[in-house]
Structure 1
Amino acid sequence: MSAIKKYIIIALILIPLGSLFGQELDNYSNSNLKYLASDAENRRDFLSAAIYYEELNRRKPKNDNFKYQLARNYHLSSQFDKAAKLYEALEQSGADKYPLLGFYLGRIKIMQGKCNEAIEILEQFSKDYRGEKDDRKYRRMSKFSIEGCESLKESSKNRFVVDPLDTEINGANMEGAPLFESEDRIIYNSLFVPAGKAYDTEVAELPTPQYYTASKSDGDWEKEGEWKQVELGGGYYAVSAAFNLERNRLYISGCKNLHTSEQNCDIFKVELKNGKWGSAERIAEGISTDAQERHPAVGIDDKGRETLYFASDREDGKGGFDIWYSTYYEKKDEYREPRNSGSKINSVGDELTPYIDSESGEFYFSSDGHPGYGGLDIFRSVGARSKWKEPENIGSEINSPMDELYYVLAPSGQSGLFVSNRLYDNKSQPCCDDLFYFIDPDLVKLMYVGQVKNEDGEPLANSVISIYESDDSTSESYLRKRVVTDDEGNYRFRLEPDKHYLINAASDGYFVDEKRISTERKVASEEYKVDMTLSKMDEGPILLGNVYYEFNSAELTEESKQTLDTTFYQLMVHNPEIVVEVSSHTDSKGQSNYNQSLSQRRAEAVINYLIKKGIDRSRLKAKGYGETKPIAPNKNPDGTDNPEGRAKNRRTEFQVIGKMEVEEED
């Protein structure tokens, strides 16, 4: 370890830091300054690193490497004008040894609001960078930056009212990770550092963020005090948090400072018992590793299981930080091995701060690897685990050329908070994150309400309503949320405008009912009243009407295929756990052995048709009964032929004979 003192000048304070150590830096050698700069960069303290490189650049003004490192740290500490001047100077001097120079300069131009210049620079960079080892990553990010610039030119801003919170909350430090406790009360994270204070990391404990509460009164947010519900222990401090849907389990991203110029961040959970939060428990089981695990969010999967999402830079990702998920099995109190949320969500860039709105089921996250307006933008999708709809940028009313993170909605869905390092009236430097409040004054509120009941009109309590968003362009459906009916079978949930929904109701012992609804072109608030009626799964066979075969053949007619498509096939799709027997019957004409063989082949024809359409073979059993199970006389009492009876006996039926076991594996 070097004998020089390892000072960190906290890069979260809006003060001119260079003057603090002007005299002291003169006493350090170039090698010591390089060490200090590298140490600060490892801590992501880019503002301090820039100070050290400024001194190195002053001493060695012809050293391009010092200029480049200074430009990068200006860039990373949001000093964009200074960064742009150095990038341009290096570009004009022909510094070919920095092939990413054009990419960084183009991104800076976007953040400066100079999209036309940015597009020209990024287009040239994409041409020049072809063939480099990581050209896919940076050429793709350049493409998305250009697309974001183009869409920024066309965007209109007329929906949201967006304002920074008062300086009582947004102080001269960093605020982040807001979380709504109710419509008018939040908790949030803030780092307070006495102005101008420096820390010797070999002997001093670094300051850490704390959680605070704030409440809204008469439209204004007011700081209340510290939120001291949970202590992590072991040197960890809370950085962000998320409740599960029942709000009886709190997931926390906890970090601790290491004396190796690094941080270590893991995921913790805390249980609410008897109205009190218990002790924090670090989640192992492949979730908390030697990599960084941050920003928990909680949703459910299509089986109703709690699913933990988090951001991590672990190996086998798509880019830098990716969003991963782990399914929680409450009966066993265990988490399954985390899996990547897939390439729809994760990009060659970074994906951070996932959030799931418990009311709408929408999934939000920040990314710099999807088409955006500059830095990290907020995106929206729907789905679960690794099946997602293509994400969309939520627009330039919220996103800016700077960074936006930690998007959360209030319970009403009409307002919310996010974090940004953008400039505004009381802020002259974009170095630090602040909280912004937004409201949609003209929010269109669409509610879907009703009752689940059986065919006798009796309410079915504890029925599960699954709400999917349909994508007409791909015919795919993506899970939004699940709700459970109350004791009277009632349900209520929110819909979003300009969407297509598939809504399923399920209850034990009943077949699933399905409704489709469109909210296209809905411009006024509305309540949809729709009841769902479920048919009981009878123990006996159920007739498949209008299923016929070619004469003396097992070949299904075209009319029969259409009937199966709209009835039995749909029933199998909507009830994915049932196992059925498909039975075929004949009348008594002809030889009994032949009738037995014909009925078996006809039952198999139905099953083979369903298998071709994607139904699992293990859920289907074919059985031909020939003439052995008539439901009407084939002959009249006087011995004459009974055509009506024979027609009833020539039939195809199905019967539920079991259920598939729910697979526990992901």
Structure 2
Amino acid sequence: MKLFKGLIILFMLMFLMPEQGLAQRRYLRRLAAAEEAFSNHQYHNALNRYKKAYNRTRDRDNRNYIIFQMAESYRFINDTRRAEVNYRRLLRANYDEKEPIVLLHYGDMLRTNEKYDLAEEAYLAYIEKEPEDPRGHVGLESIKLALEWLENPTKYEVVNERRINTRDDEFAPRYADRNYRSIIFTSNRDGVTGKGIDDWTDKNYTALFYARRDPKGDWGTPVLADNNNLVNTGSHEGVAIFKQRFTNLYFTRCYSQRTEEESGMGCQIYMATRGGNSWSEPVKLELGGDSTNVVGHPTLSSDELMIIFSADFEGGIGGKDLWIATRESTTESFGMARNLGDIINTKGDEMFPFLREDSVLYFSSNGHPGMGGLDIFKSTLVDGEWQKPVNMQYPINSPGDDFGITFKPDEEKGFFSSNRRGGRGGDDIYSFIKPPLVFTLQGVIRNEANLQFVPDASIRMVGTDGSSVEGRTDARGFYSFAPSQLKPGTTYELTVNHDGFFTQTGKITTVDVFSNRDFKLDFMLDPIPDEAIPLPEIRYELAKWDLLPQYQDSLRGLITILDQNPTIVIELAAHTDSRNTFEFNDILSQRRAESVVNYLIERGIPPDRMVARGYGKRVPRKLEKDITVDGYTFEEGTLLDDPFIESLPTTSQREAAHQLNRRTEFRVLSRDYVPRRTAAQRTAERIEVVLNPDENIVNYRSGEHGEISVPCILNGYNLIFSLDTRDRNALRISLEQALRLLTEGAINRNDFEGDAERILGEGTITDRAVFNISELRIGNKTLENIKVTVIHRQTEPLVIGENVLKDYGELNIDRDKQQIIFN
């Protein structure tokens, strides 16, 4: 019985041993066939053979290896979902202990499939195993950037060109005519000239096609770019670019099988010339490598003396790198190619370059931080060096493959290709455009003194591009400038003017503003006051008048006011404290006022726009607001005269009060200045010492018949009035002068008594119309709210009777000195 059992076992062993050897041989044959297809980039063919080999082995290690190769094959044919599934199977079998790269590729597939949390875990695990490999860190950074870019897309608008695309692949579009109404692109759609099936993709061979827009902008049916077997042949043709007035075509040709022309199965770049509807025989460009190298995706400089292309040459940085070659003339061959370096190239693939304006390089890469798959980047040439690539972000890029971008010259529009979700087929052609930036500007102008709106203010906007536009505020002080008036990359200076107010300026800029923006810029206009305006503190050495350098900055604000308000004339008044004699203080203050005027002249202010006056100690300061000096607060309304100062309890308080009295002020005398003199003229002509400010002495001119003509300032405008000694209550203005004041804005319709429409409706002013004068200054005295009558037959600009002048004080007329003296 035991012997019988032993014979049975021996018989079984003898029977099974040949069978096991045969199965192993079949497995090895199928594995070898799969490996050969994989090494020849025939990934679809390799997948079928790996599956058969998988079924011929029970060995766990063998099976895990096959799953790894299948995952890689799926990754190469862009079947990211099946690749993800197979990498996950490997991780469950702990295959990453043997091949850590599984974690990296698994993370890449998850990122492309938008499973960012799982992708992050995979990258972290890979970094733990391979901390020196930058690809894991790039993957982590890419997740962060992808989420940020999806949340904050750029301004590009992207459209799938569905009338061009099919369920097959359409990619790498380039413009094909001078009017930029047609494109040449690569496709494996039905109708290609090659009759084989590509073992990499299990799809048709690729060929070059044209698509053209009709006059309405609609795409016609794409047609073969060549059907005479010159450019399009039985091999793969694609990724082309036109140069030299759209006659020279540079394109890529790949061989899926060995031919008499090519002993290997690589890719090369060719050039053919278009003449009418025919092509010259393509000429291969000798750029290095051999027939097994993949060389393609050409882009050239405008003069065709430089070419940038993608290749897997030995000595590169990653898989496929970008290389550059140059030549001296278009009749010569290109010289030895050199790698663009690690600023452009990575351990991944860099492909599909496009050179724009010879200085900006666009290309696609899966090695730089990106959203997933191939992303489009751009790099700028600065001083002969390519700068760090910048990701074009979403929506140009997506979690899928985005590549083959081209631009219309001088415009932010063009085409690219992508296999992103929502497409019609595999790779689709998309158009893109970056709509022009839209900027608007608006604001409100108010009166600083009372916060009321300022209507009819003029606001002028001048751009650094040389543009100049002007607008006015409405009844509520509102102004606006339309989008057509504001351009990108421009800085605008705004100047606001209105009678009775100091000019204000403001600035906005659209430089480095990359999104639409509604600018808002409000202004508060300062009314020009009748009262003197104290300047920031200017101190002098004891009994001296030289303007010290450290106090010159205090005058910058005044210089700005004078520059911004070129029609005003000002008085610069200097005051001392009450110590020392009248004569000493009068002379000292006068010289101090002159020193300020001279400084302003040196800074370009015309001398006839300034009057220097020294008031000595004659005008103690009355505070218009609370002021704190050296810790002591003096309240608004305080008159800093000697009785007040002497009443202060401490010496330091009294010294602080004296300090406030020592001041330099300015006030506006008129607002209709017209340049009449050169800056070289001295100011002495206009300098006078006020010996007694309680007296108002005004010089006048006498006519042939004893008429008295006196200077005055009416609503800020210089006039000469005639003194009427017979009609003592006269206050009359000529029609010509009244129209001037109305036209220049010194008065307006609201100043007239009665129906303004009737008074002003005929383009003139009716005879004996009455209007209100806001202020009339004679000498250093001002009357406000005076009524004046328009007389058509009057020839003198303004006539004022003696009784009216008495409102300025008791007057005496010194005919010898030709002076009117008000007491």
TM over 0.5: yes
The separation in 1 between residues aligned to 2:391 and 2:372, in whole angstroms, is 12
Task: Identify if the C-alpha distance between structure 1 residues 36 and 291 changes in structure 2 by more than 3 Å, giving closer, same or farther.
Answer: same
Taking the aligned partners of 1:183 and 1:254, their CA distance within structure 2 comes to 25
Shift of 1:434: 2.2
Equivalence for 1:295: 297
Unaligned runs of 5+ in 2: 1-22, 440-486, 492-508, 518-823
Secondary structure of the 1:396 match is coil
Alignment of 1:496-575 (within 5 A): 519-521=511-513
Q: Secondary structure at the match of 2:118?
A: helix
1:174 aligns with 2:169: yes
Output the CA distance in 2 between the equivalents of 1:384 and 1:228: 39
Q: CA deviation at 1:402?
A: 1.6
Cα drift, residue 31 of structure 1 = 3.8
Instruction: Note closer, same or farther for the CA distance 1:386–1:172 as it changes in structure 2 (3 Å cut).
Output: farther
Whether the 8 Å contact between 2:87 and 2:102 is mirrored in structure 1 is: yes
CA deviation vs aligned residue, 1:593-618 (integer Å, no higher than 9, x gap): xxxxxxxxxxxxxxxxxxxxxxxxxx
Q: Which residue of 2 aligns with 1:162?
A: 158
* 1:265–1:518 Cα change, 3 Å: farther
Residue 82 of structure 2 aligns to which amino acid in structure 1? K
1:309 — aligned with what?
Answer: 308
**Residue 496 of structure 2 aligns with which residue?**
none
Question: 1:78 aligns to what?
Answer: 78
Looking at CA atoms only, which structure, 1 or 2, has the larger radius of gyration? 2
How far, CA to CA, are the matches of 1:520 and 1:367 in structure 2?
27
Partner of 1:383: 381
Aligned to 1:434: 428
Give the Cα–Cα distance (whole angstroms) in 2 for the partners of residues 239 and 370 of structure 1: 25
Counterparts of 2:198 and 2:276 in 1: how far apart (Å)?
Answer: 41
CA 1:234–1:86 in 2, change beyond 3 Å: closer, same or farther? closer
Which residues of structure 1 form unaligned runs of 5+?
A: 1-25, 446-495, 501-516, 526-666
- What does residue 336 of structure 2 align with? 337
Q: What is residue 594 of structure 1 aligned with on the other side?
A: none
- Please state how far the C-alpha of 1:385 moved relative to its aligned partner: 10
Match of residue 398, structure 2, among 390, 400, 405? 400
Partners of 1:425 and 1:248 in 2: CA distance: 32
CA shift for structure 1 position 371: 1.0
- In structure 1, the residue matched to 2:27 is 30
Q: Which residue of 2 aligns with 1:282?
A: 284
**CA offset digits 1:483-529 (Å, max 9, x no partner):** xxxxxxxxxxxxx97799xxxxxxxxxxxxxxxx995337689xxxx
**CA positional deviation for 1:433:** 2.2
Q: Would the aligned equivalents of 1:43 and 1:262 in 2 still touch at CA under 8 Å?
A: no
- 2:654 maps to none
Report the counterpart of residue 363 of structure 2 in structure 1: 365
Distance in 2 of aligned mates of 1:499 and 1:356: 27
CA distance in structure 1 between the aligned counterparts of 2:392 and 2:49, rounded to whole angstroms: 38
Deviations, residues 291-328 of structure 1 (Å, cap 9, x unaligned) = 2210000126xxx7721111111112121111111112
Shift of 1:414: 3.5
Q: What is the letter of the counterpart of residue 380 of structure 1?
A: K
| AA matched with 1:186 | I
Q: TM-score when scaled to structure 1?
A: 0.55
Larger relative contact order (C-alpha < 8 A, sep ≥ 6)? Answer: 1
Alpha-carbon separation, structure 2, partners of 1:232 and 1:385:
38
Task: Give the drift of 1:39.
Answer: 4.1
**What's 1:352 paired with?**
351
Deviation string 1:76-107 (CA, Å, 9 cap, x unpaired) is 23333332232222212222222211111111
| Aligned residues with identical type, % of pairs | 24
CA 1:164 to 1:48, structure 2 compared with 1: closer, same or farther past 3 Å? farther
- Other-structure match for 1:64: 64
Alpha-carbon separation, structure 2, partners of 1:386 and 1:44? 37
Residue 415 of structure 1: CA displacement?
2.5
Q: Which residue of 2 aligns with 1:187?
A: 184
Within-5 A mapping of 1:201-216: 208-216=205-213
Conserved 8 A contact 1:325-1:385: no
Pairing partner for 1:267 from 259, 266, 269: 269
Count of residue pairs the alignment pairs up: 414
Question: In the alignment, is the contact (CA less than 8 A) between 2:165 and 2:424 conserved in 1?
Answer: no
Q: Distance in 1 between matches of 2:285 and 2:74?
A: 37
Secondary structure of residue in 2 paired with 1:56: helix
Give the Å deviation of 1:419.
1.7
- Partner of 1:413 in structure 2? 411
Cα deviation, residue 186, structure 1: 0.8
Q: In 1, are the aligned partners of 2:264 and 2:292 still within 8 Å (CA)?
A: no
Kept in 1: contact 2:299–2:355 (CA 8 A): yes
| Distance across 2 between alignment mates of 1:264 and 1:371 | 29
Residue in 1 aligned with 2:452? none
Question: 2-side partners of 1:290 and 1:108: how far apart?
Answer: 29
Residues 231 and 272 in structure 2, CA contact (< 8 A), matched pair in contact too: no
Q: Distance in 2 between matches of 1:390 and 1:499?
A: 26
TM-score (normalised: structure 2): 0.45
Aligned to 1:618: none
Q: Per-residue CA shift, 1:110-147, capped at 9, x if unaligned?
A: 011112221222122112124xxxx5xxx212212211
Q: Give, in angstroms, the shift of residue 170 of structure 1.
A: 2.4
> Aligned partners of 1:273, 1:385: CA distance in 2, in Å?
38
Change (3 A) 1:326 1:426: closer
User: C-alpha distance in 1, partners of 2:213/2:276?
Assistant: 28
For the 8 Å contact 2:317–2:346, the answer to whether it is kept is: yes
Partners of 2:322 and 2:351 within 8 A in 1: yes
Offset at residue 219 of structure 1 (A): 5.0
